[in-house]
Amino acid sequence: MTADDLPNPEPTLDIDRHLKYWKMCLQSPLPHHYLSNEGNRMALAYFIINSIAILTPHANNNNNNNNNNNNTDNNLITPQDRRKLRKWVLSHQHPGGGFSPASSLVYPLHGYEQSEPETGSQPAEAAGMANAPGTLFALQLLALLADEDDPERAFDGVDRAQTLRWLRRLQRKDGSFGEVLRLLPGQGWFIGGGYDMRYCYIAASIRWMLRGDVEEGEPGWVEDIDKERLTSYILSSQTYDGGFAGSSQEEPHAGYAYCAISALSLLDRPLQTTSQPPPPSPSLSRIRDLPALIHWLTSRQFIYLEHPPPVAEQEEEEEDPVNFLLPPLTSLSLSPPLIASNGRTNKVADTCYTWWVVAALSNLCQLQLLGDWAPARRFLLEKMAHRIGGFSKYPGGPPDVYHSCFGLTVMSLMGEPGLQKLDGGLAVPVVTVGVIEQARGELLRRARGEGKGKGVVELGLRMRGGTTRPGWLRGVN
Amino acid sequence: MLSIVCLQAATTTVTTTKPSAPAAPSTNNNNNASKQPEKEEPSTVAELSRYHFELCHPFEGKRSTTQADQLVWLASRLVTRLPVRFLGAKGQKDLWKTVNEHSLPARGFNLRKYKKRQQQHKGVDSRGRDIGEYTAKEWGIRQEKRVTLSCLQLQSQRFRELRDRQKRGFVDYQTGDQVLVTDSEYTEEKQRRREMERLSRELYGAERMARQGKLALDPEWDDVVPIVMEDPENALAAIAYSPDYAEAMSYLRAVMSAKEYSPRSLKLTEYIINLNPAHYTVWLFRAANIFAMKLPIPDEITWLNQIALENLKNYQIWHHRNLLVEHYHPSIASDPPALASFATSEREFLTQILAEDTKNYHVWSYRSWMVGKLGVWGNPEELRSTEELIEQDVRNNSAWSHRFYLVFSDPENCTPGEKYAATEADPKVPGEIVDREVAYAEEKIRLAPQNQSGWNYLRGVLVKGGRGLSSVREFAEEFVKGLGEGEEGEEVRSSHALDLLAEVYKELGERERADLCLRRLMEKWDRIRGGYWQWRREGLELAEVAA
């Protein structure tokens, strides 16, 4: 396990090559096979901008390992572009709160004329649709695209109160969250999106990014989600083998485990981050069987063995492998060359699970249980990194924005030289978390009537010749 | 009046001049556009019309300075443009004389017509070929197509009018019946528009005729104004999708905005789902249509089955199914045979789709939800079909998970109300169930000792059943021989057995032995989890481990 045992020197992360891949994704349309993600365009945008942020050294970065890529294209996104892209992100904001995840769900403004965001009545719902992931990624993008010298204005234009009100309505009676609200004929309001731990995590993230510490009765106060119910819903989703699923009755999944752990951690996270990773939250200690969870998470790692090329006469071998190859136990004493991770017991290797597993342990503040990082890093760089840049889902596959982003996030979480240090709970660089905190602070100041824009709306309304706010302006402070 | 005076003057001059006109064309043969008809037959339509024009206008575009030439030219102009009887008798005589002497053409198309022709010959066709280059025959075919297109446009116009009359509730004045547009007329119109589109593009080329989408051509969608989406200059993650998809989405936006729940909206969702089955909004809108029109749920499920088989990795399909069953369930809940038969058909389909993809997460999630919703507990078929999948692949953890759920969430076997967590003992679990499940797990572990699924299951069963882990000590020890007795004597067939034994010994208070298991895992049998085993050792609170 030490460097002496290794025949080859450690591979390096080719930052320029990855930047080139992301530059391509930034500047030209994504190919047609991304069509299935058309409804989640904001997520694709987050993968692109987040990766570029991770790969680009920040002006105020304390990271002392960025000497080797000072010559990279620091201006991949110019300040003017940042402004325009923020405008584009904000164009997805829904008058009823939240953001639409795709431009195809944003309607021309006249579609909102009759909207009633307070009650969320039909017309507002009919035109345009906000959803939980769209809102999370939009907020992250606004922070990632903030002006470097004016971070506290990153959330300018975000309707904090309305978004938090809308978020509350996504919570079900059992405490879980859905992703979207829809009025179904004959069924009333329906919280769409299934029982999915991802939405619980997203709700906890949005809440942490926007809510702040406004007390009840103060201006800008919005009723909170039912935090206790959400916590108990998450806690009850631990499965018999220690992992987490959408409910305890399903198969545990590393992505859901990350979401459960991170949601618990974000629900109690201090508003200002003082250390990385943030100290474990009290909610985490309520996990019913923490040793089993840790056992399950660490068991996601395995020694990666290549499937032998299929032999002609063995026809059943030609189909996709459903299990990873088990090494014979007797050979285990050899130094493990490559370590991969899977998302479920006995499933195959996938780049993103290295991230979900490592980040989950990091959020539990148990990263030391991971053991040696080098073989896992080597697996990513030798098997998953593509020669055009980016990472693939499976060894030898083509890169895609999702796996390329999570390949980078995990490397950055593990302190890869030349990369921005990452926050494992919010999956954006630590500097961006700072931006979010400042931007939230500014929104809160305005909500309390201390902000720079105090009275502007009232002035505008007076100029318009009335004091009643049109529906789309309600909730704007 | 003035013109007649001039004319008379002119004709007088003509008669008194010796003409030299016949030489005029030949003296100007430096004009390369003029071809000698004797030498080369015009072949293309551009050449042909020029040729005809030149025959009628021998002097057009040519200038001669001599007075005689000018007179002949004037005669040729007059004879083709004026009714000759306006001239006096002498004038007519002189004119005809000049015309005869110089064989001037007395009739022919005029300049305006010629210009129009030229206009028609300009441009390129859909293949990029210059229309002027067409042969007369090709030109004829083209003209025929233009006539066809005009006729189709008229028919299409008639269709629109008819439909308009139907909408206003008009009656046929002859029969007194309501004006009705029949289905076949719709189909004809649809075909007609496709034909019109094809002809237009063929005639006028792709540049002049923007391609019309399928829906724009469909008479059913005439009254919908699509809400087209346009990206601003700076936008992220645009996807290069097909014009068909863009068109379909713009119509979807229009009907969603208008909350139109109709057969055509439903059809539109199907069309989009075939293009992109992963758009959750389309699915929700489809569900809204089905509920609003009160369409039979089983029909929709049958339709959905095919889509699910074609798109195995799709999450939205299963969410949609979930929603449908949620909606359908109350109507059959009080009818046990109907419920049972629905559960059976669901299981049959799930078995079919799991045969294609045995670990499909969405299918298994749906399955566990379905079992609870339809109350399939205790159904031996459900357990058996799960067992079959474990038999096919003993490492199929999805099937193991489902088994655990089937056995231990069965209201017969557990305390109701999810009082106990999955990781907690439930006193209501019958002992014989625990015995049965322990035996099952042990049997499968013997088949594949290094399979983690079996060991996790065994451990889960023991915890749930409130049994100590030490109750499987002998079983686990089968896989471990001579632990700590040196490289030669030590034989471990399952690192998971060693893992479990560490807990067994800890439970029994044999901490040294537990530590030995963990140490051997760390040193040899599962080195990649060194950090984890070390942490477990620290949990034993042995003096020397902490050091």
Which DSSP string corresponds to A343-407?
SSTTPPP-HHHHHHHHHHHHHTT-GGGG--SHHHHHHIIIIIB-TTSSBBSSTTPPB-HHHHHHH
The sign of the dihedral angle between the CA atoms of B435, A245, B308, A342 is: negative
Is A331 in CB contact (< 8 Å) with chain B? no
Strand duo A301-303 + A339-341: pairing: antiparallel
Distances in Å between the Cα of A333 and the Cα atoms of A328, A336, A346, B496, B521 are 10, 8, 21, 16, 10
H-assigned helices in B448-510: 452-464, 473-477, 486-489, 495-507
Q: Does A370 touch chain B (CB under 8 A)?
A: yes
Mean local confidence (pLDDT), A69-85? 75
**Overall domain count for chain A:** 1
How confident is residue A107, by pLDDT bands cut at 50, 70 and 90? confident
* C-beta neighbour count of A279 within 10 angstroms: 13
- Asked whether the beta carbons of A185 and B288 are under 8 A apart, the reply is yes
Instruction: Tell how far CA B291 is from the center of its chain.
Output: 24
Residue A68 touches partner B, C-beta closer than 8 Å = no
Separation in Å, CA of B530 to nearest CA in chain A: 6
Residue A298 is nearest to which of B238, B315, B529, comparing CB atoms? B529
Alpha-carbon distance of A476 to B207, in angstroms, equals: 47
> Cα distance from B405 to chain A (closest Cα, Å)?
6
Name the residue among A38, A294, A401 with its Cβ closest to that of B241. Answer: A38
C-alpha dihedral (A200, A205, A208, A211), degrees to nearest 10 = -80
Closest Cα of chain B to A14: distance in Å? 23
- Which residues are paired to A97 by β-bridges? none
Inter-residue contact A93 to A450 (CB < 8 Å): no
Please tell me the predicted confidence (pLDDT) of residue A118.
43
Parent domain of A161: 15-30+39-56+88-113+125-306+334-446
Cβ pair A153, A133 in contact under 8 A = no
Cα–Cα distances in Å, from B491 out to B444, B467, B480, B485? 20, 28, 6, 9
Cβ distance A289 to B287 less than 8 Å, yes or no, reads: no
The Cα of A458 is separated from the nearest Cα of chain B by a number of Å equal to 30
Written as six digits, the tokens of A422 are 């990452």
pLDDT per position as a tens digit, A204-213: 999 999 999 9
pLDDT > 50? residue A116: no
Residue A175 lies in a domain: yes
Q: What is the ipTM of this complex?
A: 0.88
Q: How far apart are CA B145 and CA B153, in angstroms?
A: 12
Cross-chain CB nearest to A108 (options B227, B284, B453): B227
Q: Please name the member of A36, A242, A251 whose beta carbon is closest to the beta carbon of B423.
A: A242
Identify the top-confidence range among A106-120, A454-468, B133-147.
Answer: B133-147
Q: What confidence score (pLDDT) does residue A436 get?
A: 98
Query: Which residues of chain A are within 8 Å of residue B375 when distances are taken between CB atoms?
Result: none
Which residues of chain B make contact with A25, given a CB cutoff of 8 A?
237
CA distance A161 to chain B (A): 25
CB contact under 8 A, A34 and B464: no
In the predicted model, what is the mean pLDDT of chain A?
85
pLDDT digits (tens, 9 = 90+) for A3-62: 445 456 789 999 999 999 999 999 999 999 999 999 999 999 999 999 999 999 755 444
Query: What's the CATH code of the domain at A207?
Result: 1.50.10.20
Residues of chain B positioned with their CB less than 8 A from the CB of A111: 227, 257
Over chain B (547 residues), the average pLDDT of each successive run of 10 is 38 38 40 49 82 76 76 80 79 86 75 77 76 86 91 91 87 84 89 88 70 85 88 90 92 89 96 94 94 96 96 92 95 94 95 95 96 91 95 97 96 90 95 97 97 98 96 97 88 96 96 96 92 94 59
Rounded CA gap, A352 and B337, in Å? 45
Instruction: Measure the CA–CA gap between A336 and A331, rounded to whole angstroms.
Output: 10
B242 contacts in A (CB within 8 Å)? 32
Measured between CB atoms, does A178 come within 8 Å of chain B?
no
Residue numbers of A between 412 and 471 with CB closer than 8 Å to B: none
Which tens digits make up the pLDDT trace of A349-399? 999 999 999 999 999 999 999 878 999 999 999 999 999 999 999 999 999
Dihedral sign for Cα B471, B472, B475, B481, please: negative
Whole-number pLDDT of residue B115: 79
Q: Which residues of A touch B409 (CB under 8 A)?
A: 249
pLDDT digits (tens, 9 = 90+) for A300-312: 999 998 876 655 5
3-state class (DSSP) for residue A81: helix
Q: For residue range A262-287, what is the model confidence (pLDDT) as tens digits?
A: 999 999 999 999 888 888 889 999 99
Token pair in block for residue A234: 């998450």
Q: For position A267, what pLDDT does the model report? A: 96
* Exposure on the CB side of residue B2, measured as CA atoms within 13 A: 0
- Answer yes or no: do A322 and B401 touch at CB < 8 A: no
CA distance, residue A41 to nearest chain B CA (Å) = 6
Q: What residues have CB less than 8 Å from A188, skipping those under 6 apart? A: none
> In this complex, do B418 and A332 lie within 8 Å of one another by their Cβ atoms?
no
Query: Is A105 in the B-facing interface, judged by CB distances under 8 Å?
Result: yes
Nearest by CB to residue A238, choosing from B232, B319, B421, is B421
d(C-alpha B371, C-alpha B405), whole Å: 9
CA distance B64 to B475: 120
Q: Residue B37: what pLDDT?
A: 46
Inter-chain touch A88–B398, beta carbons under 8 Å: no
